[in-house]
Amino acid sequence: MTVYNFTAKDNLGNDVPLDTYKGKVLLIVNTATGCGFTPQYEELQNMYDELKEEGFEILDFPCNQFMNQAPGSDAEIQDFCTSKFSTTFPRFSKVDVNGENAAPVFKWLTENTVFQGFEGKMATMMKLMAKARDKDYKNNGKVKWNFTKFVIDRNGEIAARFEPTADLAAVKAKIKEVL
């Protein structure tokens, strides 16, 4: 199984087979508009601008599962991201990333990756929040918070997972390696 086996709804409600992105390196990210990590949109857009000509795409999946930090409609989220951060990468319809209603692509991503640990100045706070939500958070692949990132290689296979606190320079380095 690869990412190409899945279809997702774009932010206009259209079905998008993910094999549309066959042969590209993907960064799949669950996002939120009201999160402390929301400013990552700016760095993600910069990365996209720099690498898209090399066959790189960011697939943005808004998610409201973490403290209701993406409460808007798909249209409101699109407007916020394009007006505040000038994002141009593909945005999909809001999804769940964990639980019985998780989008199939996220079920696959979380069943085939492991938690990578929190790092940096936000690590302690993130550990406390993750533990409050899931006592066994260290030992499963569930998404722990907004802005978890999955790198997908040109064959549609998972190449890496990065937690929200990961240095975006490390994410970019991995993407460049996979490109």
Which tens digit of pLDDT belongs to each residue from 97-126? 999 999 999 999 999 999 999 999 999 999
Q: Which residues contact 69 (CB under 8 A, 6 or more apart)?
A: 32, 33, 34, 35, 38, 146
The CATH number for 3-178, chosen from 3.90.1150.10, 3.40.30.10, 3.20.10.10, 1.10.287.110, is: 3.40.30.10
**Domain range annotation of the chain:** 3-178
Active-site amino acid positions: 35
155-to-23, 26, 54 alpha-carbon distances in Å: 6, 10, 15
Is the pTM higher than 0.85?
yes
